[in-house]
Amino acid sequence: MTELTRVRGIVFDLDGTLVDGFEGIATGVNAARAAAGLAPLSRAEVTSHVGRGLDDLLAATLPPEERERGVRVFRAAYDRICEAESRPMPGAPAVLRQLASRGFRLSVASNKLAPYSMRILRALGLADGLTAVHGPDSAGRPKPDPAMIEACLEAMGVDRERAIYVGDMPLDIAAARSAGVGVVLLAGGAASRADLDATGVCVLDGLAELATALPHGPE
C-alpha cells in the first residue's frame, strides 16, 4: 500500500464514502420493481447489491425480462430524487475542505454516472476543491477496471505511487490495485465492518480518521 505520509492525491468513491445515497438508489430500484409488479425491497437489501453499477444492481433486483425497462424507470425516478435523497457521510464537507486547504489533490471515481455524481456533490456542498469527477460514462469502463481512477490521476497530475483510493467495500480494493494505487476503506458504507476487516487492508472508522491519518500536507 502507498504510505500515507507520501500521499499527494486522493481519489474517493462516492456512495458510502462521501455520500449516503442509498435511500435514493432504493427508491429507483423500487420504482423499477413496482413497474414490474414486484414488491419493494428494503434499503438494506438494495444496499447489499450496490457498487458495480446500474446493470449489475438491476440484474440482482429484477428478473431478466424486466431489466431493459427497469433501466428507464430507475433513471426517470432517480433523476427526480437523487439530490433530495442523498446526504453527506459524517464529516464529509469539513474533511474535504480541510484536505483541500492542506494541499491535497482530490477527485471522485464512482460507478454512478458522472452527471449524477456531480449533481449530488454540488447539491450537498461537496464539489468545491475536486479536480475531477469520473464514472463509467466519462472514463469508459466501470470499476474494478482502472480507467476512471487513471483518469482522475491524470486530471490531478499525481503519480500513482503518491495516490490512494478511498472506498467502502471490497470491490474498491480491486479497483485500486488494478490502477496501481494504495487503498483505504472506510467503515459505515455498503459493507459491514467485519467484511472490511477481513480484507486485510487499512480500514478506518470514517473520514475524520482519514484526515488525521494523513500528513499535514503533501511533501
- Residue finishing a domain among 81, 97, 125: 81
Residues 135 and 156 in one domain: yes
Question: 166 and 111, same structural domain?
Answer: yes
Judgement on whether residues 54 and 135 belong to the same structural domain of the protein: no
Reduced to 3 states (helix: H, G, I; strand: E, B; else coil), residue 143 is coil
Same domain, 164 and 104: yes
- Give the residue numbers spanning the domain of 45: 22-81
Q: What is the CATH number of the domain that holds 138?
A: 3.40.50.1000
Q: How confident is the model at residue 219 (pLDDT cuts 50, 70, 90)?
A: low
Q: pTM to 2 decimals?
A: 0.93
Q: What would the pLDDT profile of 72-91 be if each residue is shown by its tens digit?
A: 999 999 999 999 999 999 99
Would 40 be classed as within a structural domain? yes
Cα(178)–Cα(174) distance, rounded to whole angstroms? 6
Angstrom CA distances, 110 to 62, 127, 131, 167, stand at 22, 14, 14, 9
At a CB cut-off of 8 Å and minimum separation 6, what does 219 contact?
5, 6, 8
> Domain count of the chain?
2
Give the pLDDT of residue 218: 72
Residue 218 lies in a domain: no
Question: What number is the average pLDDT over the span 1-19?
Answer: 89
Quick one: DSSP state of residue 87?
A: E
Picking from 66, 81, 96, the residue at the C-terminal end of a domain is 81
Q: Are residues 64 and 92 in the same domain?
A: no
Together in a domain, 52 and 157: no
At residue 64, does pLDDT exceed 70? yes
| Catalytic one of 13, 15, 20, 172 | 13
- Does 15 participate in catalysis according to the annotation? no
Which residue has better confidence, 1 or 208?
A: 208
* Whether pLDDT at 210 is above 80: yes
90 in the same domain as 195: yes
